[in-house]
Amino acid sequence: MISIRSILLILFIWFLLWFGRRYIQKIKQNQYNEPNINPKTATGEQSKTMVRCDYCGIYIPKEEALSFGKNQYYCCEAHRARMLK
């Protein structure tokens, strides 16, 4: 025999499971949001990659380097001009 008590108990357990699942999903979403920030900082680090001057061989940040072509970088305008000559 299924009593009202057992039905209420099942409903209570179901509610707990539903609430627990929602809670877990919230935690998972928070966990997924955090790694989304990390790749942005990782790309920020990638922009700080060091490149080698093709003339004197000194290492300089890619942002500060003077680029020539695809993979040629120079530390200053003078070195780039010397290589172009």
Q: Nearest-CA neighbor of 66 among 45, 55, 46, 44?
A: 55
Asked if 75 interacts with Zn ion (CB under 5 A), we say: yes
Distance in Å, CB of 51 to Zn ion, minimum: 11
Asked if 81 interacts with Zn ion (CB under 5 A), we say: no
Distance in Å, CB of 63 to Zn ion, minimum: 16
Binder of Zn ion out of 51, 53, 65, 66 (CB under 5 A)? 53
Q: Which residues share a beta bridge with 65?
A: none
- The Cα 79–Cα 64 span in angstroms is 14
The total number of residues shown for the chain amounts to 85
Q: Which stretch binds Zn ion (CB under 5 A): 32-40, 42-50, 62-70, 74-82?
A: 74-82
Residue 67, helix vs strand vs coil: strand
For Zn ion, the binding residues (CB under 5 A) are: 53, 55-56, 75, 79
